């Protein structure tokens, strides 16, 4: 089954501030964290005036999601101010809370402007299709990559070799990876939709940067991992169905946890999204 952003965001409203969503992932698997975060943001956004744009979310992953049953999202209106609106969302399955999200929405306004990080990257057209970039990978890496297009609704162009390819050769490399991404389907001209799509994408591959220095990879039998919390800041309007450059790195790991961060730039070089994630990483 090919993942669809439009289908993922098509939540059913079953009562005031209560929504139901369905996972697009195979029923035999647990729900992808980016998917539940995107759906929770859809639910929150539907309770906020359209002129207010999401500028921040903070999510906590509490239990693995079950992709075989619907997810119920309960939205709690926390605050409706003159400039800012705050919502809290809980996701429930089998009578238990699996995920919580706090999101803040902001009425656009003028203000001081600066941007320190700069985009330094080849254009996506100058990079090869992902298939050739996986040719040097081991069997585990090639098997992982073969289903990537079906698991995620984004087209990818990798800037350099992915750390997991080097890891498959027994190498230890810097905990950083960079790639262009864009949604494979054309999305409506509504910023909430594009922000939700970027929320999904923000969780893609991010935690995997944390094991590059340690000679292993996610999917290896000796590694156990899970996202713990995830924060995203949105800095301005953008389109997720146009190319975005995602620069990811891991700055710290210890005690069974790792911290990762990422930045998304549009093609003009504007910083449009910043991401922080802490995850659990353990040797089995």
pLDDT of residue 33: 95
Mean pLDDT of 180-186: 96
The verdict on 160 and 260 lying in the same domain is: yes
| Residue 124 backbone phi and psi in degrees, to 5 | -60, -30
Say whether pLDDT at 1 is over 60: no
pLDDT of residue 221: 81
Residues 6 or more apart whose Cβ sits within 8 Å of residue 253: 210, 213, 214, 259, 281
The verdict on 150 and 77 lying in the same domain is: no
The verdict on 134 and 235 lying in the same domain is: yes
The verdict on 128 and 236 lying in the same domain is: yes
Query: Tens digit of pLDDT for each residue in 100-146?
Result: 999 999 999 999 999 999 999 999 999 988 766 566 666 777 676 76
Mean pLDDT of 259-265: 98
Q: Is 102 a catalytic residue?
A: no
Residue in 203, 241, 247, 266 annotated catalytic: 203
Q: Is 277 a catalytic residue?
A: yes
Query: Tens digit of pLDDT for each residue in 6-17?
Result: 999 999 999 999
Q: Please report, for the domain that includes residue 163, its CATH number.
A: 3.10.129.10
The verdict on 147 and 36 lying in the same domain is: no
The verdict on 192 and 214 lying in the same domain is: yes
Say whether pLDDT at 67 is over 70: yes
Say whether pLDDT at 164 is over 90: no
The verdict on 82 and 135 lying in the same domain is: no
Mean pLDDT of 143-157: 79
Say whether pLDDT at 166 is over 90: no
Whether 240 contacts 198, CB under 8 Å: yes
pLDDT of residue 32: 93
Residue in 227, 241, 248, 250 annotated catalytic: 227
Structural domain tally of the chain? 2
Q: Is 203 a catalytic residue?
A: yes
The verdict on 97 and 190 lying in the same domain is: no
User: Where does a domain end: 87, 110, 133?
Assistant: 110
The verdict on 148 and 45 lying in the same domain is: no
The HSE-up count of residue 114 (CA atoms within 13 Å, CB side) is 2
- CA dist., res. 201 & res. 211, Å (int): 20
User: Where does a domain end: 110, 140, 159?
Assistant: 110
What domain range includes position 67? 1-110
Mean pLDDT of 207-219: 88
Nearest to 140 by CA among 177, 179, 167: 167
Say whether pLDDT at 161 is over 80: yes
Query: Tens digit of pLDDT for each residue in 223-259?
Result: 899 999 999 999 999 999 999 999 999 999 999 999 9
Prediction pTM value? 0.95
Whole-number mean pLDDT of the chain?
92
The verdict on 23 and 130 lying in the same domain is: no
Query: Which has more confidence, 29 or 68?
Result: 68
pLDDT of residue 134: 64
| Per-residue CA distances from 184 to 2, 25, 61, 75, 145 (Å) | 10, 17, 27, 29, 17
pLDDT of residue 97: 98
The verdict on 188 and 125 lying in the same domain is: yes
Confidence grade of residue 151 (pLDDT, cut at 50, 70, 90):
confident
User: Where does a domain end: 70, 85, 110?
Assistant: 110
Residue in 24, 202, 250, 277 annotated catalytic: 277
pLDDT of residue 14: 97
Say whether pLDDT at 37 is over 70: yes
The verdict on 86 and 123 lying in the same domain is: no
pLDDT of residue 170: 82
Mean pLDDT of 148-152: 75
pLDDT of residue 149: 66
């Amino acid at each position: 089954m090919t993942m669809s952003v439009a289908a993922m965001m098509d939540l059913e409203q079953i009562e005031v501030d209560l929504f139901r969503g369905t996972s697009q992932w195979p029923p035999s698997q647990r729900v992808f964290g980016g998917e539940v975060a995107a759906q929770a943001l859809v639910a929150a956004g539907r309770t906020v005036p359209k002129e207010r744009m999401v500028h921040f979310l903070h999510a906590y992953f509490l239990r693995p999601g079950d992709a075989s049953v619907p997810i119920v999202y309960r939205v709690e209106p926390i605050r409706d101010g003159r400039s800012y609106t705050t919502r809290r969302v809980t996701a429930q399955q089998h009578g238990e809370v699996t995920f919580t999200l706090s999101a803040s929405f902001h009425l656009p306004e003028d203000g001081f402007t600066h941007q320190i990080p700069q985009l330094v990257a080849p254009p996506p057209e100058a990079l090869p299709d992902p298939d050739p970039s996986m040719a040097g990978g081991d069997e585990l890496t090639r098997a992982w990559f073969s289903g990537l297009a079906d698991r995620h609704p984004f087209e990818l162009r990798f800037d350099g070799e992915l750390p997991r390819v080097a890891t498959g050769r027994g190498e230890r490399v810097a905990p950083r990876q960079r790639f262009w991404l864009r949604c494979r389907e054309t999305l409506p001209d509504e910023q909430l939709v594009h922000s939700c799509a970027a929320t999904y994408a923000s969780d893609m591959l991010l935690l995997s940067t944390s094991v590059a220095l340690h000679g292993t990879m996610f999917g290896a039998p000796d590694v156990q991992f899970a996202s713990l919390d995830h924060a995203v800041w949105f800095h301005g309007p953008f389109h997720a169905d146009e190319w975005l450059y995602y620069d990811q790195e891991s700055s710290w790991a210890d005690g069974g946890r790792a911290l990762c961060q990422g930045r998304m730039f549009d093609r003009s070089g504007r910083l449009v999204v910043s991401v922080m994630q802490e995850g659990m990483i353990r040797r089995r």
